[in-house]
C-alpha cells in the first residue's frame, strides 16, 4: 500500500490534477523493463500527458528488495524538489487503472537535440544532474533518461533504482569526475543535508528504509567533506548497459 504525502507540498493547478483527476491509459512503452504506461489526465481540455508506472507491473530486483520502484521514483522527486535541484519532473504516488503507482508529468524533449552529442557536453544543467545522481546513488543514468526541452531546461527520468545503501553510482555523466565542487553545488548539498533533518527526512521515512536514509546522509556529507565529484570505482560497473 502506498502512503500519499503530496498534500504536504504546495502544488499548482496542473500538479493537483495529476495527483487527483481521472486518468486514461493511451499506450505503453514496450521497451521498458517494467510496466510503463502512457496516460492522459483529464483537465477539461486536451488532457495532461503523464507516465504511469503501476506497482503491480514491477519486476522484483534482488538488490532492491525493500519497498517499490514507485517509492524510489517519488523519493527522487522529493529530493530534487526540496533539495533545490529541480531536475525530476513532477511526480506523485496515486491510484490508477492498474492500481497504485508512480505518475510523472510527461516532458516533451527537443527533437532537434542529438542526445548522443548532448550528454557528452559540459553543460551546467548536466553537471547539476551528475551531482544529483551522486546524492541519490543512481544506478541507471542512461542517455535516454536525459530530457532536454525546447526551452533549454534539462530533466531526468527513470529513478526507480536509486538510494541503495551501498555505493552503486552508474551513469553516463562522468565529465566532472574528480572535479572540485562549486560554491553553488555546496549550497545545494547543504540544503539537502538540512532538509534531511526536517520535512524531507520525514517524507523519505515513508518511502525508504532507515539504512538507506542513513546512507543518503553519509553520501551527502562525504561529498561536502571531499568537495569533489565522485570518480568511477573498480568495484562496480561505472556505466549502465546498454548506455541508451
Rounded Cα–Cα distance for residues 216 and 206 (Å): 15
State yes or no: pLDDT of 8 exceeds 80: no
More confident residue, 46 or 75: 75
For residue 100, pLDDT over 60 is answered with yes
Q: In the block, which residue shows the cell 542512461? A: 142
Gyration radius of the chain over CA positions: 17
Mean pLDDT of the chain: 93
Alpha carbon distance 180, 226 (integer Å) = 9
Per-residue pLDDT for 63 more than 60?
Answer: yes
Which three three-digit cell numbers place residue 139? 544506478
For the chain, the straight-line distance linking the first and the last C-alpha, in angstroms and rounded, comes to 32
Q: What percent of the chain has pLDDT over 90?
A: 83
Decide if 148 is inside a domain.
Answer: yes
- Determine phi and psi for 55, rounding to 5 degrees: -60, -35
Q: What is the pLDDT of residue 33?
A: 78
> What dihedral angle (degrees, nearest 10) is formed by the CA atoms of 123, 75, 192, 132?
-20
**What's the CATH code of the domain at 137?**
1.10.510
Peptide bond into 242 cis (omega under 30): yes
- Decide: helix, strand or coil at residue 141: strand
Give a yes or no: residue 241 inside a domain.
no
Q: Quick check: is 32 in a domain? A: yes
- Check whether 3 has a pLDDT greater than 50: no
CA dihedral 232, 81, 87, 55 (to 10 degrees): 80
- Residue 233: inside a domain, yes or no? no
Phi, psi at 24, each rounded to 5°: -120, 130
Is residue 238 in a domain? no
Mean pLDDT over 10-22 rounds to: 89
In this structure, are residues 27 and 40 in contact, taking their beta carbons and an 8 Å threshold?
no
Question: Is 232 among the domain residues?
Answer: no
Partners of 27 in beta bridges? 38
Asked, for residue 243, whether it belongs to a domain, the answer is no
Domain range spanning residue 96? Answer: 6-226
Residue 39 in this model has a pLDDT that exceeds 70: yes
Return d(Cα 145, Cα 91) in angstroms, integer: 15
Q: Let me know if residue 75 belongs to a domain.
A: yes
Whole-angstrom distance, CA of residue 157 vs CA of residue 173: 14
User: What is the domain count for the chain?
Assistant: 1
Amino acid at each position: 500500500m502506498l502512503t500519499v504525502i503530496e498534500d504536504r507540498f504546495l502544488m499548482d493547478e496542473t500538479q493537483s490534477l495529476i495527483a487527483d483527476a481521472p486518468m486514461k491509459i493511451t499506450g505503453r512503452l514496450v521497451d521498458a523493463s517494467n510496466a510503463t504506461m502512457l496516460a492522459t489526465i483529464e483537465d477539461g481540455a486536451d488532457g495532461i500527458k503523464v507516465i504511469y508506472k503501476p506497482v503491480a507491473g514491477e519486476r522484483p530486483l534482488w538488490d532492491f528488495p525493500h519497498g517499490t520502484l514507485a517509492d524510489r521514483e517519488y523519493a527522487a522527486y522529493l529530493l530534487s524538489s526540496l533539495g533545490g535541484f529541480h531536475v525530476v519532473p513532477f511526480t506523485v504516488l496515486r491510484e490508477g487503472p492498474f492500481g497504485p503507482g508512480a505518475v510523472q508529468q510527461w516532458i516533451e524533449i527537443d527533437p532537434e537535440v542529438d542526445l548522443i552529442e548532448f550528454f557528452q557536453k559540459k553543460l551546467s544543467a548536466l553537471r547539476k544532474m551528475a551531482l544529483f545522481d551522486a546524492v541519490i546513488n543512481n544506478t541507471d543514468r542512461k542517455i535516454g533518461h536525459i530530457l532536454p526541452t525546447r526551452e533549454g531546461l534539462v530533466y531526468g527520468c527513470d529513478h526507480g533504482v536509486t538510494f541503495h545503501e551501498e555505493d552503486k553510482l552508474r551513469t553516463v555523466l562522468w565529465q566532472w569526475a574528480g572535479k572540485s565542487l562549486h560554491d553553488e553545488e555546496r549550497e545545494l548539498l547543504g540544503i539537502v543535508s538540512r532538509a534531511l533533518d526536517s520535512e524531507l527526512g520525514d517524507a523519505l521515512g515513508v518511502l525508504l528504509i532507515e539504512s538507506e536514509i542513513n546512507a543518503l546522509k553519509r553520501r551527502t556529507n562525504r561529498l561536502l567533506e571531499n568537495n569533489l565529484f565522485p570518480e568511477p570505482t573498480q568495484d562496480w560497473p561505472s556505466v549502465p548497459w546498454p548506455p541508451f
